[in-house]
Amino acid sequence: MGVVLMLKIESWFKEEAKGTAVLFYMVIFLILDLFLNCLISMLFDVFNVVVPHSEPNSSILTFYFPIILLGMAFIEEIFFRFPLVLLVALKLRLWIILAVSVILSIIFGLLHGGIPNIFLQGIGGLFYSILFLKCGGYHGKLIKPLAAAAFTHFFFNGVLVLMCLAQGIYKI
């Protein structure tokens, strides 16, 4: 059963997303990430799990904020997806690449604030890794998959900022 599943997963990654399929996967992973973040955040509220975040009522928005948000998304994506490119270049098996993706995603979550963040940003990091690989990273490409992951990451962060503004957590 596990072998069959792995073969199906590998077959899915072998078919590189191109054209409008890239946009489709970007939207799907963005929606999944937002949905799971909301669901996990609600569960954290129910179980009183404290998640580190920025100061309430802080003013984060400046003229340069969108540029900073996009720049940070690109820097994080380069840092956390580049190891996957190396693994693909070494022609390692998909399960090893996916295992490293999980490890990188755990680190991504931890660096965003601590253990609870593994379940929030870490899951997003895993989504961005899968998107990166599906959009050409698994085929040794860099620019298109990096752009797909970084822009999805940017839009996710932007939606979170808008939600925080709507809730009064941030102010203009």
Q: What is the pLDDT of residues 129-160, one digit of tens each?
A: 999 999 999 999 999 999 999 999 999 999 98
Q: Which residues on neighbouring strands pair with residue 97, listed in sequence order?
A: none
Q: How confident is the model at residue 117 (pLDDT cuts 50, 70, 90)?
A: very high
- Give the residue among 132, 126, 170 at the shortest CA–CA distance from 151: 132
pTM: 0.92
pLDDT score for 155: 96
CA atoms within 13 A on the CB side of 119: 14
Domain residue ranges of the chain, discontinuous segments joined by +: 16-58+65-171
Q: How confident is the model at residue 27 (pLDDT cuts 50, 70, 90)?
A: very high
pLDDT score for 53: 67
- Give the residue among 85, 118, 120 at the shortest CA–CA distance from 103: 118
The stretch 108-137 carries a mean pLDDT of: 96
Distance CA 107, CA 65 (A): 25
Q: What is the pLDDT of residues 33-91, one digit of tens each?
A: 999 999 999 999 999 999 886 555 555 556 677 888 888 999 999 999 999 999 999 99
Q: Which residues on neighbouring strands pair with residue 107, listed in sequence order?
A: none
pLDDT at 17 over 60: yes
Q: How confident is the model at residue 1 (pLDDT cuts 50, 70, 90)?
A: low
Q: Which residues on neighbouring strands pair with residue 171, listed in sequence order?
A: 59
Phi, psi at 58, each rounded to 5°:
-85, 150
Tokens 């399960």 belong to residue: 95
